[in-house]
A and B are shown apart, each in its own frame.
Chain A
Amino acid sequence: MKSRIFPLIATIVVFILLYMIGWQRFPAFGTTRVVLNILTDKSFLGVAAVGMTFVILSGGIDLSVGSIIAFTSIFCALLIKDVGVHPLGAFAIALALGAAFGGAMGAIIHYLKIPPFIVTLAGMFLARGCAFLLSEASVPIEHPFYSDISGMYYVFEDKGRLTFVATLFVIVLLVGLIIAHFTRFGRNVYALGGDKNSALLLGVPIARTTIGVYMLSSVLATLAGIIYSLYTRSGYPLATVGLELDAITAVVIGGTLLTGGVGYMAGTLVGVLILGVIQTYINFDGGLNSWWTKIVIGALLFVFIALQKVLSSGRPVFKLPSLKR
């Protein structure tokens, strides 16, 4: 078996196990409601996690996504409410802004050779600060377009609801999967994370790829911000504090190595679902304090990182090739 795929399989097994445990206690796990609810509830986290997957695969990190979501939500709210821009126009402006922001971070990381941790940390404070500059309080959005969107969903027989935002998340994930695995850009991202120096010597366009990765992450964070605003129908400068850490957690639990170069986009979906299942279980239980979510996720993350360590420090198995002579 290819050892690269092992973490992904481990993740899927853990997900199924957790789900079974949930199902055993709460029969509702047997309906589509639980999964669809998780998809809706985690839609903005999931979209941000797709971007984070690219960043981590490239060997980097992006701490700015939570702040970008908050900024986007308040930015759109104000454009729609105070300036009177149509929501679609507001979204377009926000996405362009997000692309520029991410591109700038990527350029600083590449050309000034400053570690991504520092650059995106600065980006995090900057975006959060700007969000507060726009408004210190939550801004509700009342626009017919928003009501239309929340009215768009498909109901399954057992009352599970496939909402617009959940669908959007799934589409983003699929597109992310195709980009990661089947485009030259995606393969360059893997190469960059695998060995940056060799990638350069092999002719991988390092500048373009690095800038592209952070641009993609910020654009997806902005999209996550738009989803957040559609989902909560408001903009809030204090929204999604620390969401980047949840996104990183989902990516790592999904089997992507923090050191870069190894991982699967599909794993990120499973990672997000696992976070959702744990939360749902603890919500259903009622008796358990919601902080248990954090504790379980912490333990799980620890187990997965330990697993990765074992796998990556394991010496390459010298499978001896047969030389035809």
Chain B
Amino acid sequence: MTTSTQPILQTRDLSISFGSVDALVSVDFNLRAGEIHALLGENGAGKSTLIKLVTGVYAKDSGQILLDGKEINPRNPREAQLLGISPVYQEINLIPTLSVAENIYLGSQPMRFGLVNTAAMNKQAEALLNRYNIDIDVNRTLSSYSVAIQQLVAIARGVDMSAKVLILDEPTASLDRHEVETLFNVMRQLKADGVGIILITHFLDQVYEISDRITVLRNGFKVGEYNTDELPRVKLISEMLGHELTQTLGKQATSETAKPKNQEAYIRVDGLGRKGYLEPIDLTVNEGEIVGLAGLLGSGRTETALLIFGIEGHDQGTIYVDGQAVHLRSPSQAIQEGFALCPEDRKTEGIVGELTVRENVILALQAKRGWFDFIPIKRQQELADEMIEALHIATPDAEKPAGQLSGGNQQKLILARWLASEPKFLILDEPTRGIDVGAHAEIINIIKRLSNDGMSLLVISSELAEVVDYSDRVIVLRDHKKVAELKGDEVTENRIMQVIAEEPNV
């Protein structure tokens, strides 16, 4: 590879703290022109903070930021953009009420006679999205599209504007393999054009697939800077965690047999569907069983979850709990039945940023008990501390506003909230998205432990290795329809891939 060694973006001794938290301490970061540089570290290591300093969202406490060898001090993202630094932040930051095209070209709209040329803008947007194999009506409001589409739109915008430096903070979190591949092709093209790219991700496979060099952060400190092909994976993980990874992915045969199997299904979903939304689906989840939901993005996995949980109404089918038909018309009824749903979009559907970690943890439990049956503060604190401990949520204490946690820790917090509500049936939509390697293994262990304790789980995930690891059965969806149910020996990555890839036999 002919990566130039000329640095394009550098930081020198960069530091910032938030109150008592030192988010970055004296960090030297070097990005070269024409390289893809992975910025790695645990949740809360300071990756997003580094990006926000470089793009002027936060003001640094001390240190320097250099672009092409010259010191820069962007005071807001706009100034950074004008300098040629184009960021795609971790949470999708677009305007839900504007159209897709307007979101892409906000601030750089094509003009004619001094006015915005909407027709040309829409055309450009369509052409741009076509590069990512997306064919949508760009004139519709952004909020009418799924999270994955929104993320691709954000990426398309960032790539389109990147002049010197492109920063991608967990861009692939809600993308499937195909989209990741498309994105990587675009990145390779930009790299050939001499753009420096910073990639933040928790998918180590992707790091090894695409990156040239790696910088690892831990607790706000820079641990090291490496060439990707000289850093073995085990070494990388221990650099990130500061110790060896003890619990690795892999079958934990120990408890498998303890599960009560082959009994009357605890949850039985019978022909549940809605016209134009989801084809009628049948599924069962036994007590203490983990059922995986696999399929491509847009295959109807999240839709299934929303229908079962009563967020979306169904027009046919029935749900049985323990053999009893129940009529769930709203999430609150579902919660009363002991259901819980941990959603995929933590920004809009999950965390209440202004509330503290403790308040976020008890939210679902309190809602379930009703607002008059107030949980004593002492009990709230205990619960919150328990969860912080169990999920390793990085926060100085339970009274920190949840909005100030790092992205991955917010994800853990949502999980904590639903666990605290002690559900009998838990639906998890992409529970490990944006979660670091250490915590990833942790969450998978928790999922297994919950099922051992008798909880029934329905888990949606795009990471097949993970699905195969914990699922007793796997249901595969395609085009809003259940196409297969795999059990026993059939539950392998290859088999799932095969089913997903089969051409619909019309």
A160 adjacent to chain B (CB < 8 Å): no
A113 in the interface (beta carbon within 8 A): no
Q: Chain A 208-219 against B: per-residue CB contact (8 Å), 1 yes, 0 no?
A: 000000000000
Within 8 A of B (CB), among A1-50: 2-4
Which residue of A191, A320, A325 is within 8 Å of B106 (Cβ)? Answer: A191
* A2, A178, A323: the one within 8 Å of B133 (CB): A323
Contact A198 B95 (CB under 8 A): yes
Q: Which residue in B89, B103, B114, B141 is a CB contact (below 8 Å) of A4?
A: B141
Given the complex of chains A and B, what is the CA–CA distance between A125 and B106 in angstroms?
37
Chain B, interface size category, equals 35 or more
Collect the chain A residues with CB atoms within 8 Å of residue B133's CB: 323-325
Min CB distance B369 to A, Å, is: 25
Q: How far is the CA of A320 from the CA of B298 in the complex (A)?
A: 7
A266 sits at the interface (CB 8 A) = no
The yes or no answer to B116 lying at the interface (CB within 8 A) is yes
Does chain B have a CB within 8 A of A111? no
A261 touches B97 (CB 8 A): yes
Kindly state the separation between the CA atoms of A159 and B144 in the bound complex, as whole angstroms.
Answer: 49
- Tell which of A68-76, A182-190, A287-295 binds the partner: A182-190
Interchain CB contact under 8 A, A323 and B297: yes
Q: Are B98 and A201 in contact (CB under 8 A)?
A: no
B77 close to A316 (CB less than 8 A): no
- Judging by beta carbons under 8 Å apart, are B140 and A183 in contact? no
Decide: A2 near B94, CB < 8 A? Known: A184-B109, A320-B480, A324-B135: no
Q: Using Cβ atoms and an 8 Å threshold, which residues of chain B touch A282?
A: none
Which bucket holds chain A's interface residue count?
Answer: 35 or more
Beta-carbon nearest neighbor of A184 in chain B = B109
Q: Give the residue of B78, B96, B178, B311 whose beta carbon is less than 8 angstroms from that of A204.
A: B78
- Asked if B324 is an interface residue, CB under 8 A from chain A, the answer is no
User: B67-117: which have CB < 8 Å to A?
Assistant: 76-78, 80-81, 87, 89, 93-98, 102-103, 106-107, 109, 114-116
Q: Tell me if A319 and B145 are in contact (CB < 8 A).
A: yes
Q: Compute how far the CA of A202 lies from the CA of B161 in the bound complex, rounded to whole angstroms.
A: 11
Of residues 23 to 59 in B, which have CB atoms within 8 Å of A's CB atoms?
57
Tell me the minimal C-beta distance from B274 to chain A in angstroms: 11
Q: How far is the CA of A205 from the CA of B80 in the complex (A)?
A: 12
List residues of chain B with CB within 8 A of the CB of A205.
78
Find residues 192-207 in chain A having any chain B CB closer than 8 Å to their own CB.
Answer: 193-195, 197-206
Cα separation A58 to B193 with both chains bound (whole Å): 39
The yes or no answer to B366 lying at the interface (CB within 8 A) is: no
In contact, A321 and B76 (Cβ under 8 angstroms)? no
Asked if B124 CB lies within 8 Å of chain A CBs, one says no
> Is A317's beta carbon under 8 Å from chain B?
yes
Residue contact B81 to A203, C-beta cutoff 8 Å: yes
Q: Pick from A2, A199, A319, A320: contact of B95, CB below 8 A.
A: A199
Nearest-neighbor residue (CB-CB) of A312 within chain B = B97
Give A71-105 as 1s and 0s: 1 = Cβ < 8 Å from B's Cβ atoms: 00000000000000000000000000000000000
A200-B77, A321-B136 known; A190 vs B107 contact (CB < 8 Å): no
Q: How far is the CA of A322 from the CA of B136 in the complex (A)?
A: 7
Please measure, in the bound complex, the distance between the C-alpha atom of A262 and the C-alpha atom of B136, giving whole angstroms.
21
Q: Does B245 contact A (CB under 8 A)?
A: no
B146 located at the interface, meaning its Cβ lies under 8 Å from any Cβ of chain A in the complex: yes
* Chain A, Cβ-Cβ closest to B52: A201
User: Which residues from A are CB-within-8-Å of B443?
Assistant: none
Find out whether the CB atom of A203 lies under 8 angstroms from the CB atom of B107.
yes
Cβ–Cβ contact A261 & B95, under 8 A: yes
**Once the chains bind, are A321 and B149 in contact (CB under 8 Å)?**
yes
CA distance A3 to B141 in the complex (A): 9
Q: Is the CB of B115 within 8 A of A262?
A: no
Nearest-neighbour CB distance to chain B for A49, whole angstroms, equals 21
- B95→A202 contact, CB < 8 A: yes
Do residues A204 and B106 form an inter-chain contact, with CB atoms below 8 A? Answer: yes
A194, chain B: closest CB distance, angstroms: 4
Report Cα–Cα, A48/B273, bound state, in Å: 50
Distance in angstroms between the alpha carbons of A325 and B135 in the assembled complex: 10
- Give CA–CA (A96, B358) in the complex, Å: 52
Q: How far, in whole Å, are A202 and B149 apart by their CA atoms in the complex?
A: 17
A195–B296 Cα distance when bound, in Å, is: 30
* Residues in B neighbouring A320, C-beta threshold 8 A: 146, 298, 480
Residues of chain A lying within 8 A (CB to CB) of residue B144? 316-319
* B residues near A200, Cβ cutoff 8 Å: 57, 76-77
Whether A318 pairs with B106 at a CB distance below 8 angstroms is no
Contact B95 A190 (CB under 8 A): yes
- Which of chain A's residues have a CB closer than 8 A to the CB of B93? 195, 197-198, 201-202
Name the residue of chain A whose CB is nearest to the CB of B118. A182
A-B residue pairs, 10 tightest by C-beta: A194-B97, A203-B78, A194-B95, A261-B97, A182-B115, A198-B93, A321-B136, A201-B93, A203-B81, A316-B143
A-B contact pairs, 10 of them (CB 8 A): A4-B97, A4-B141, A182-B118, A191-B102, A194-B98, A195-B95, A198-B94, A198-B95, A318-B277, A321-B298
- Chain A interface residues toward B at CB < 8 A: 2-4, 178, 181-184, 187-188, 190-191, 193-195, 197-206, 261-262, 315-325
| 15 additional A-B residue pairs with CB within 8 Å, beyond A2-B141, A191-B102, A203-B106 | A182-B118, A183-B114, A190-B102, A194-B95, A195-B94, A200-B76, A202-B77, A202-B95, A202-B106, A205-B78, A261-B95, A318-B277, A320-B146, A320-B480, A321-B135
